[in-house]
Structure 1
Amino acid sequence: MARSLINVPKSAAAGSVIEIKTLISHPMETGFRPGADGRLVPRNIITEFVCRFENEEIFRAELFPASSANPYLTFTTVATRSGTFTFTWSGDNGFSQTERAAIAVT
């Protein structure tokens, strides 16, 4: 399992814009680099990131071989009600990781 860091405010006023930051540790091998034996190192990247709030998709990103290792994504959304964000990273070789973070809206 990869290590992820998520920064979501614990609380926010209703209608306010909040910033969400995510980072996941992942080697992100492009598949174009030769290894020590001269053969290409197999591709191993995160290809998709999805953020949902109470099962409603609010942000999606497709990642490609040019993405850096340990992809860092930041985006904004409007705080409408209290609930839980679900963050899912998917990639090559069946990689999938899901994390959750809650917010209280007043």
Structure 2
Amino acid sequence: MASTIRVRATSNGDITEVQALIQHPMDSGFVKDAKGETIPPHYIQQLTFEHNGRNIFVADWGTAVSKDPYVKFSFKGAKKGDDLKVGWIDNKGATDTATAKIQ
């Protein structure tokens, strides 16, 4: 299975900018399908970004986040060539991870 996470991390001096796009339906459990039946909730519960073994960004999400979420943030303390690990877990127990080299 192909990764659901696309991530880019770019270092500019002491600041690293991270951009991530995650493919996920993020169903709230309140929307109905074409037959009028409620689509069960299916959403990312936790999103984690890790650098050098420590969490630098953790998001606890619920049903209010839109489909295919995009995240952008920056942090200090990384250098070009370092690894940035991204992972998520959803309410059905599914997970995905990806690792990107900081450019």
Larger radius of gyration, structure 1 or 2? 1
What is the alpha-carbon distance in structure 2 between the residues aligned to residue 84 and residue 12 of structure 1? 15
What is the alpha-carbon distance in structure 1 between the residues aligned to residue 78 and residue 64 of structure 2? 35
- Number of the residue aligned with 2:102: 103
TM, length-normalised to structure 2 = 0.84
What are structure 2's unaligned runs of at least 5 residues?
none
What is the alpha-carbon distance in structure 1 between the residues aligned to residue 78 and residue 28 of structure 2? 39
Q: Is the 8 A contact 2:22 2:70 kept in 1?
A: yes
Deviation at 1:43, TM superposition (A): 0.4
CA RMSD, Structure 1 to Structure 2 (Å): 1.9
TM, length-normalised to structure 1 = 0.82
Q: Is the 8 A contact 2:4 2:96 kept in 1?
A: no
What is the alpha-carbon distance in structure 2 between the residues aligned to residue 94 and residue 80 of structure 1? 31
Q: Is the 8 A contact 1:28 1:46 kept in 2?
A: yes
- Number of the residue aligned with 2:7: 6
Deviation at 1:34, TM superposition (A): 2.7
What are structure 1's unaligned runs of at least 5 residues?
none
The answer to whether 1:93 aligns with 2:92 is yes
The answer to whether 1:73 aligns with 2:62 is no
Which amino acid in structure 2 is aligned with residue 101 of structure 1?
A: A
Matches within 5 A, 1:48-87: 48-81=46-79, 82-87=81-86
Q: Is the 8 A contact 1:12 1:103 kept in 2?
A: no
Structure 1: which 4+ aligned runs deviate by more than 6 Å? none
Partner SS for 2:64? coil
Match among 28, 42, 45 for residue 44 of structure 1: 42
Which amino acid in structure 2 is aligned with residue 64 of structure 1?
A: G
